[in-house]
Structures are given as C-alpha cells and as structure tokens.
Structure 1
Amino acid sequence: MKLLILDRDGVINQDSDDYIKSVAEWLPLPGAVEAIAALSKAGWTIAVATNQSGLARGYFDLATLEAMHVELQRLVGEHGGRVDAIHYCPHGPDDDCTCRKPLPGMIEAIGRQFDADLRGVWLVGDSLRDLEAGLAVGCQPVLVKTGKGERSLAKPLPAGTLVFDDLAAVARHLLQNS
C-alpha cells in the first residue's frame, strides 16, 4: 500500500493563527486539491491527521468541522480522487490526550485503520509538531513551506526531513518516483 499522511491546515488549506472556524474560512491552497486527487487516482491511500483544538476552545462545533471535511472530500472528488481517512484531535493543548500532535496517537490510529507499517510512510506537515508525531512511529518527515512551513524552516528540523514548496510539489515528486 502506498500511504500518504497529510496535516490539514497549512498543507491542504490556508492556515490562520485565529483558527479556521467555518467552511467559508476553509480555503484550499493552490494546487492542493488537485495534488490529492492525482495521488489518489495513482493508487495512493490519502489520510489526514489534524489537530483541531478549536473544538475544545469552542471556536466551532463538530458539525462545522465535519462540513469542512465534506467540502474537502467534495473538491477532491470533483477531480476524480478521494481522501481515504480524516483523523482529528478535538482536544486542547492542556487536555493530556495522546492524539494531539506532536504525540503519535492519530498517526498510530491511521496505521491501525489501514493495517500499515508506518516506517518510511511520508508524513507531510508545515510544523515541527507534525514531523515529530510522524517520527515517533518511523514516518519520513516532509515539510512544506506553506502555512507555518517558512517559520518552521527557521528552526532546526529533524535529520532527514525533506522540504518541498507545497503539496503540489510533493505530489509531483511522488508521482514521478513511485
């Protein structure tokens, strides 16, 4: 199985320090939807792992989050692809959960869902916490420069981290080399 794990905000859609609180604020980054669809059509299994502490903070409700994910699925579907799984952590940073990145709970859940060995699976994120969650279970860390990616580049990255301009560049690389 060719499995790819993606962070959401800053990788697939625009990010905001004020949180993405509605479907109207959920705006795909240029080329991201097409990249997911192209990978899906080429046989990749696409999973999303996203911290959504805005739920715990009361900035939006579960129905709104689900509507954002329906929109993601709709847009990818329009291009002939699909997102195979969306896992989210609804907790705040002080809730002592194991699913909130940088902890690997969501990534492990994706591995269980697809009965996949996560070693070497590419995990694409825009922040150090994304990369750390993947590294904890042996994923290949991949940083994109979108979202918080440029800020993350200013910090030391884990050894072996691959860096791409955006999700479209990741997809081009994977499609040319798989």
Structure 2
Amino acid sequence: MEIRDFDTIFLDRDGVINIERPNDYVKKPDEFIFIDGACEAIAQLSGQFRHILIVTNQRGIGRGKMTLSDLEDVHRYMLNEIEKHGGRIDKIYFCTDLTSDSINRKPNTGMAFQAQSDFPDIVFNRSIMVGNSRSDMEFANKLGIYSVLVGDKYNKEDKIYQTVKAYYPSLYNFVEDLLQK
C-alpha cells in the first residue's frame, strides 16, 4: 500500500481513538481516555490526508444511557485534545439508531454516503477505514474501502483477519508503518 494512493481516512472512535468501555458507553468527557499514541497518530495523518472523518455507532443515545448533548461534550473534548496535538478531524458522523437495519448503522453504509455528500471528492477506493470491530471491516468491504483492523478484540484464529487488508495493534502502529512506505 502506498500512502499516495489514498486521500481520505475513516476512523472508528471507540477502540481506535479511545479506550472502549466494555458493556458501557463513553457518556462524558472524563470517561473518554485516549489510546496511547492516538493523538500523535491523527496529527501525522493530518498532514497526509485530505479528509479525516470519524464514523461511529452511538447506540447509547438511542438506549437513553446518554443524551445528544453528552455526546457533543465528549466530541468537543476529543477534538480539542486532538487539535492540541496538531491534528484535525474534518467531521464526525454518528448513528444513534437501535436497530441493525438502519442504513446509517455500521456495517451499513449510510454514514459513508453522508460523508461523500458533504465532501463530493471522496472516492471510496481511495479511502482507508481504520476500525476495531467486525462491523467496521464489513462497512469498509461493502464500499471497496481499504480495511485496517486495529486492537486486540479478536483472537488470532478469528476469521476476521481473512477479511481485512491489514492488521496493526493500534492506530499509532498503523500510522507509523504507513508513513515509512
């Protein structure tokens, strides 16, 4: 993979940028804990990609565990910290729907098409999706987006590794490798 072949990067949030809370949601800024190196990685990506977008399922709102205002507070905190490290996020797309058949809920592709509507120059086969879950990888594969799995959610024998283009322990490790090519 050559970095010059790509101009848009989609990032999942929980498990990629911040530590995922098992059986819970990040409901307020003090629960949002960055994964080591995530801010630095996004800063590096900011100089390389035209568009840096977050696509994140946020079912906690639909379940009444948090409000839209809570989510906005979390995202404001996240964006401020990323900017302090020299990075940027161009837009955050999220889906609060409860049902898996929602067009906007990953692995469905609605958030990608929202992004393409906002940024008409996005071409999916010139994009990368970095995520930590099966739904992230299915989202990417449905659209022809280069799929990068990060994290340790799945054991090494899991079939998910056969469906992705690349695997790295973290976003930081991916970016480190990407920029060396």
1:25 partner amino acid: E
Partner of 1:132: 138
Q: TM-score with structure 2 length normalisation?
A: 0.88
Cα distance change, pair 156–120 in 1 and its aligned pair in 2 (3 A): farther
Distance 1:85 1:154 in 2: 35
Q: Aligned match of 2:154 in 151, 160, 168?
A: 151
Partner of 1:119: 125
Distance 1:35 1:122 in 2: 14
1:169 partner amino acid: N
2:158 partner amino acid: K
Distance 1:12 1:156 in 2: 24
Distance 1:42 1:140 in 2: 16
Partner of 2:85: 79
Aligned residues: 173
Instruction: Please give the residue correspondences for 1:1-178 in structure 2 after superposition, counting only pairs within 5 Å.
Output: 2-16=7-21, 17-93=23-99, 96-115=101-120, 116-145=122-151, 149-151=152-154, 153-157=156-160, 158-177=162-181
Distance 2:155 2:75 in 1: 25
Structure 1: runs of 5 or more not aligned: none
Misfit runs of 4+, over 6 Å: none
Cα distance change, pair 129–160 in 1 and its aligned pair in 2 (3 A): closer
Q: What do you get for the CA RMSD once the two structures are aligned?
A: 1.7
Structure 2: runs of 5 or more not aligned: 1-5
Question: Contact 1:127 / 1:143 at 8 angstroms: preserved in 2?
Answer: yes
Percent identity, aligned pairs only, is 34
1:46 CA displacement = 0.9
Question: Contact 1:107 / 1:134 at 8 angstroms: preserved in 2?
Answer: no
